[in-house]
Structure 1
Amino acid sequence: MRIRAIEQKDNQQMGALIQQVLIEHEVPNKGTAYSDPFLFSLYDYYKDLDQAKYFVIVDENENVLGGCGYGPILNCEAHICEIQKMYFYPQTRGKGMGALMMKRVLEEAKNDAYSLCYIETMPQMQTAQRLYKNFGFEYIDEPIGETGHPTCSVFMTLNL
């Protein structure tokens, strides 16, 4: 397995993976990543954004196992980025892929001159929250900026 930048050929796999995980966790369709207009065109979305990247983990056959990215937040200070769309198939969880991906994404965000990372999630996504806490993310009371996901109710930040 290896981490690489998302490619156009990954769009459908990644969009389907994100929807599958959100359904698995009974996350509402509206106000979450499920209904993002670019969900099945992540490559195109990230290639056109400054200070933003999206990565996937693939197996030896180039099958996408998971992904995560970061980017600026609408109506937010320029030094703050959002960790975005970190999702993995159930059968790949618990094998260290999330930690490898988070390490890569945080390094890249720091290289892009961000000094604070923000992430939002849902209360039922406890495994993800444990990973974030292991990397030093701390809970905050209010959302930051406008992410387009008003249904998310768990907010965390990390100083880089």
Structure 2
Amino acid sequence: MEKLGIGIVIREMQSTDNEKVAMLIRKVLVELGVPKVGTAYADTSLDQLFQNYQQPKAAFFVVEEQERIVGCAGIAQLENYKGNVCELQKMYFLEEARERGLGAKLIHICHTCALDFGYEYIYLETLPYMKAAQKLYLKTDFKYLQEPMGDTGHYSCSVWMLKSIRSLVTD
């Protein structure tokens, strides 16, 4: 667990968080007008995230403010890809938690975790109109790709980015 200020912590997800995290993700996706198919909204794992991250080289984190979950993200092996690449997955924040530096901090924690797990690269997928997210990813050393890696099933996400673990910025 990492305390970020008064009443704000980033911690590993617990099984009791499943329903709250699924509701947060769906709320953000609906708010942003994301298609319900071909995105995280349709993932069958969404209601059982804790259980799905109980595998080697995977972790999922939540951001809590005043004991309320306001953001989340995880990493796991990139599906259907043979290289030593993890995917930054399901990174979403409620509107009141955005543009406060919490996203950059959560990405840093995920990167550190990926480094500890021995991954070489972190991959992500997003949507073209999620410009604020792309700005954050670029600021944290992700670079655009011309085509997707692996097969996540998120065919509606047409922006792909990759970051070398070696470019991890240390505090």
TM over 0.5: yes
1:56 match: secondary structure: strand
Deviation at 1:74, TM superposition (A): 2.0
Write out per-residue CA displacement over residues 1-51 of structure 1, whole angstroms, 9 at most, x where no aligned residue. 11110001111111111111111111110110001011111111101x211
Alpha-carbon separation, structure 2, partners of 1:6 and 1:148 = 23
Alpha-carbon separation, structure 2, partners of 1:53 and 1:66 = 15
- Map of 1:65 onto structure 2: 70
Alpha-carbon separation, structure 1, partners of 2:116 and 2:92 = 23
- Map of 1:129 onto structure 2: 134
Does the 8 Å CA contact 1:116/1:159 hold for their aligned counterparts? yes
Alpha-carbon separation, structure 2, partners of 1:73 and 1:50 = 13
Does the 8 Å CA contact 1:72/1:78 hold for their aligned counterparts? no
Deviation at 1:134, TM superposition (A): 0.3
- Of 59, 65, 68, the residue aligned with 1:53 is 59
Does the 8 Å CA contact 1:25/1:124 hold for their aligned counterparts? no
Structural mapping, 1:1-160, within 5 Å: 1-47=8-54, 49-60=55-66, 62-160=67-165
Query: Which residue type is aligned with residue 87 of structure 2?
Result: E
Query: Which residue type is aligned with residue 56 of structure 1?
Result: V
Query: Which residue type is aligned with residue 57 of structure 2?
Result: Q
Query: Which residue type is aligned with residue 8 of structure 1?
Result: S
**Count of residues paired in the alignment:** 158
Alpha-carbon separation, structure 1, partners of 2:20 and 2:129 = 24
2:137 match: secondary structure: helix
Does the 8 Å CA contact 1:53/1:70 hold for their aligned counterparts? yes
Unaligned runs of 5+ in 2: 1-7, 166-171
Calculate the aligned-residue CA RMSD, in Å: 0.9
Unaligned runs of 5+ in 1: none
Instruction: Return structure 1 stretches of 4+ with deviation > 4 angstroms.
Output: none
* Percent of aligned positions that are identical: 38
The two structures have a TM-score, normalised by structure 2, of 0.90
Alpha-carbon separation, structure 2, partners of 1:72 and 1:56 = 19
Does the 8 Å CA contact 1:78/1:114 hold for their aligned counterparts? no
Deviation at 1:138, TM superposition (A): 0.4
Write out per-residue CA displacement over residues 58-92 of structure 1, whole angstroms, 9 at most, x where no aligned residue. 123x2111000010122212411100000000011
The two structures have a TM-score, normalised by structure 1, of 0.96
